[in-house]
Amino acid sequence: MLESAGPIIVGVVNVTPDSFSDGGRFADALGAIEHGVRLVEQGAQIVDVGGESTRPGAAAVGPAEELGRVLPVVAGLVSRGVIVSIDTRHAEVARAALGSGAAIVNDVSGLRDPVMRDVLAEHDVPVVIMHTPVDNPATMQRHAQYDDVVQSVVEFLRERVAFAAAGGVTRVIVDPGIGFGKTTDHNLEVLRRLEEVVSLGLPVLVGASRKRFVGEITGVDAPGARLVGTLVAHLAALDHGASMLRVYDVAEHVEAVRMWQALSA
Ligand code: HH2
């Protein structure tokens, strides 16, 4: 799955009422499953299913509610042959999703749940370890303070990767966490110096899709209208060594990546 010839496109399906860009659109399981299947038809290799919004200021969701949202969608997509990644900070949700056939865990907290590492080791699945300064979307923007944001991100990821390895978890993808406890300038700095994250020697995933800093730079207010800025940010990330992109607009990314690949050949 990670031996793809080109960048891997991860399509996003949020089964939440409040995600910043697609909240409420796929709150029913069948709609979410159909959408995930459509993303694969458009060229996504993986579909990332999430049941909790982690946008800045979002309210936390209990694991029981998160499970109720994501499990039917994970099971439905797996039964249709889709490779599913479960976007969760909670070991309990990860365990159940893996039990229902999810193949990857995407943990935006960077393995802060004390049980997450054991769950990953038990199931021997790849994990996305993402940087965020604190495991609390409600307050993370207050922690957007760094001497050198890229150095902080790299140090955090290096420590988390070592922590994972010490528990037998070695199939790791790292993610600098665009928009997580970072200002617009921080996000730009991370993208410009992504090579420093790449130098950890692991695949790097970037998720800039429709995020606030894209709107701030382009002057586009509505998240759903931020495709052009998103594409430019993602192609820049590929230029700097990213190998996976987490995206809403799969068809457009597939087209853009084809052009990028032709130019970089
Ligand atoms: N961003 C979001 C959620 N999960 N996972 C990874 N690995 N990298 C990211 O950048 C990332 C992520 C946040 O955005 P989204 O799912 O689009 O919205 P919300 O959190 O409001 O559901």
3-state class (DSSP) for residue 15: coil
| Residue ID of nearest Cα to ligand 1 atom 8 | 207
Ligand 1 centroid distance, CA of 218 (Å): 20
Q: How far is CA 208 from CA 28, 246, 249, in A?
A: 25, 8, 12
Residue found under tokens 């695949």 = 203
Structure pTM? Answer: 0.95
Q: Is 246 a catalytic residue?
A: yes
What digits encode the pLDDT tens for the residues 85-116? 999 999 999 999 999 999 999 999 999 999 99
Nearest atom, ligand 1, residue 14 CA = 22
Nearest atom, ligand 1, residue 128 CA = 7
* Catalytic-role residue among 89, 95, 211, 226: 211
Quickly list H helices, 89-220: 91-99, 116-123, 149-166, 184-192, 195-198, 212-218
Nearest atom, ligand 1, residue 208 CA = 10
What digits encode the pLDDT tens for the residues 129-169? 999 998 888 888 888 899 999 999 999 999 999 999 999 99
**Residue 2 CB contacts under 8 Å (≥ 6 apart), including other chains:** 8, 126, 173, 203
Instruction: Specify the range with the lowest mean pLDDT, choosing from 64-68, 207-211, 242-246.
Output: 64-68
- Burial class, 197, CB count within 10 angstroms (exposed 0-12 / middle 13-18 / buried 19+): buried
The structural domains of the chain, ordered by start, are 8-264 (3.20.20.20)
Q: Is 211 a catalytic residue?
A: yes
Separation of first and last alpha carbons in the chain: 22
Ligand 1 centroid distance, CA of 265 (Å): 30
Single-letter amino acid code for the residue at 58: A
